[in-house]
Structure 1
Amino acid sequence: MRILVTGRSGQVVMALLERSALVPGVEVIALGRPDLDLEDTASAGAAIAAVRPDMVVNAAAYTAVDKAEQESALAFAINRDGAAAAAAAAARLGAAFIQLSTDYVYPGDKTGAYVESDETGPLGVYGQSKLAGEEAVKLAHPSPLILRTSWVYSPFGGNFVKTMLRLGKERAVLNVVDDQIGNPTSALDIAHAVLRIAPGLPGGGTYHLCGSGDVTWYGLARETFALSKSLGGPCAEVKPITTAEYPTPARRPANSRLSMDAFAARFGFRLRPLQEALAETVSRLV
């Protein structure tokens, strides 16, 4: 099976390349700029047509949440129009299509975990562009699989866990937001899930794909440093602060918890518990 994943160095891209090496009969091809540029819809379609994959995983995206507030046109060009072009190219080939989306499509004002049928309501441009991408993909492909994930971390690229470990080497005390809660998700586990469902993917739908276990950013920082300390790595004291004490250009959802029940019911598995998945990433980084 040939899987084309958009992007070259993103967390999910790198995880798919690594994990696919362990799966016989699966070839993952990563294509990013300049060969496949989601900002250039024509090039995106041509690149996918040239590879002729059995499946396309759209992992590339505009993800600069704060910067998107000033670059809305670019965010929509990549996250909506580029995603639609990739989906349309896959449809022309008769290839399956997976669109990776985000918890930021929700407003974050729900008490419990979000389910797929809950009303969306992005707070900022990034979430708005990703939600628009979901809708555009549905129009461009007959049966896309949309996977909303959250708080992605891994040994690759830039992410919260890597940032904490870097800052832990530089500072003795760190202030971290404690009134935003979500499901940290390992990109390695996202890759595992995609590779597991890819061969028998019967059709589309919208599902949550996230780590098992919820925590605040403050709690995730503490977990990260506890694991790091046990391995002889960097460790800093973490103090909780509120979102109001750490203002950013873009508003973040206070509650990003996602229920994975629907995904588990359809595909028969869940992602690993936070402690187990986080331990793998921290150990590799340390």
Structure 2
Amino acid sequence: MKTVLVTGIFGQLGWELRRSCPESVRLVGVDLPEVDITQGDHVARMFADHSPHVVVNAAAYTAVDRAEQEPEAAYAVNRDAVRLLAEACARHGAHLLQISTDFVFDGTLSRPYSPDDAPNPLSVYGASKMAGEKMTLEVLRDRCTIVRTAWLYSSHGANFVKTMLRLFEERDEVRVVSDQVGTPTWAANLADFLWALLQRERVPSGIYHFTDAGVASWYDFAVAVEEETRPKRRKRVWVRPIRTEEYPTPARRPSYSVLDKHSAWSLWPRSPEHWREALRRMLQELEQPPSC
């Protein structure tokens, strides 16, 4: 039986990985405060206790704007902890699957970003995640996998969808940026893809991109949430499109971060799901929360 150790098990992706874990896998989940992957002794004890065949690093510093004021904290988790994990994997012969982000790109292309495109992050968060990718590849070479994803949401944890649901209850109008374009991703679909990789006899190495299908702006995403939930709410909330400069943030975001997923989708036994259908299924799940 393959032992898969997941860091950040209490986060959105960790939660989805835990509840969809195949019976053929022994899953070990760790998170703060018991295990701090920025501490070398914690990482060493984690490997000694569990002897994982694969480590999925779903832990990350994801506070994009706060990272501009806390770069040391962002790099400690997104780069230095990744180095510790990669070195431990190298010593123990384990495979590292590192989760990364569309924020490693600058958004200047007019086509979807392929895994081979050169990163050029605009923010501390993006730069720290890129640094984690470099650490992974430098230490482990062909015994690692990097999966970049984008705009992640789930019925578990805090995310854009839940923020919109709260605002729709509180307000009659919500302003959302319309000139940043990417693809929403239901964490349940990402988890399913990762299990498809991890159940292979040999986990594929290299860099892959995974999101749901389709393209949207944050405005489009918010409109979809409003439309899907309007019957239950029994009132319409106006979602008003605004430009990025009308909603200034400490961190710069890529204006276009659509990812080319074809190499990843070719390894997934399911057909890609359009983000709108995935959103609908997640919202239905919120109506009837799972027991686990």
TM interval, shorter chain, is: over 0.9
Is the 2:210–2:265 contact (alpha carbons within 8 Å) kept by the matching residues of 1?
A: no
2:89 matched residue in structure 1:
90
Does structure 1 residue 250 correspond to structure 2 residue 266? no
Structure 2 CA distance for aligned equivalents of residues 283 and 169 of structure 1: 18
Residue of structure 2 equivalent to 1:78: 77
Match of 1:241 in 2: 242
1:269: how far off? Answer: 5.0
For the structure 1 residues 187 and 229, does the alpha-carbon distance in structure 2 shift closer, same or farther, using more than 3 Å as the test?
A: same
Question: What CA distance in whole angstroms lies between the structure 2 residues aligned with 1:233 and 1:101?
Answer: 38
Please report how far the alpha carbon of residue 86 of structure 1 lies from its aligned counterpart in structure 2 after TM superposition. 1.3
C-alpha RMSD over aligned residues: 1.7
3-state SS of 1:256 partner = coil
Contact 2:82–2:136 (8 Å) recurs in 1: yes
- The amino acid of 2:113's aligned partner reads Y
2:290 maps to none
Whether 2:90 is the aligned partner of 1:102: answer: no
Question: Structure 1 regions of 5+ residues with no counterpart?
Answer: none
Distance change (3 Å), C-alpha of 1:44 and 1:258: same
Rounded Cα–Cα distance in structure 2 between residues aligned with 1:92 and 1:13: 24
- 1:132 maps to which residue? 131
Once residues 41 and 179 of structure 1 are traced to their aligned partners in structure 2, the CA distance between those partners, rounded to angstroms, is: 42
Offset of residue 90 of structure 1: 2.2
What residue is the counterpart of 1:151 in the other structure?
Answer: 151
- The code of the aligned residue for 1:114 comes to Y
State the one-letter code of the partner of 1:157.
G
Please, which moves more after superposition, 151-160 or 23-32?
23-32
> In the alignment, what sits opposite 2:276?
275
Q: In the aligned structure 1, how far is the partner of 2:87 from the partner of 2:213? A: 33
| Aligned mates of 1:71, 1:281 — CA distance in 2 | 33
Q: Which residue of 1 aligns with 2:66?
A: 67
Q: How many residue pairs end up in the alignment? A: 284
Give the whole-Å Cα distance in 2 for the aligned partners of 1:234 and 1:48. 52
Find the aligned partners of 1:72 and 1:50 in 2 and give their Cα distance: 32
Please give the per-residue CA displacement for 1:144-200, whole angstroms capped at 9, x wherever unaligned. 100000000110111101110111111111000000000111111111111111021
How far apart in 2 are the matches of 1:234 and 1:30? 41
Q: Deviations over 1:243-274 (max 9, x none)?
A: 00000000000001001012223556554211
Name the SS of the counterpart of 1:99 in structure 2. strand
Deviates most, 235-244 or 174-183 = 235-244
More off after superposition, 257-266 vs 66-75: 257-266
Work out whether residues 186 and 277 of structure 1, in 8 Å CA contact, stay in contact via their aligned partners in 2: yes
Mapped partners of 1:123, 1:215: distance in 2: 20
Q: Which residue of 2 aligns with 1:164?
A: 164
Q: Structure 2 unaligned runs (5+)?
A: 288-292
8 Å CA contact 2:178, 2:220 repeated in 1 = yes
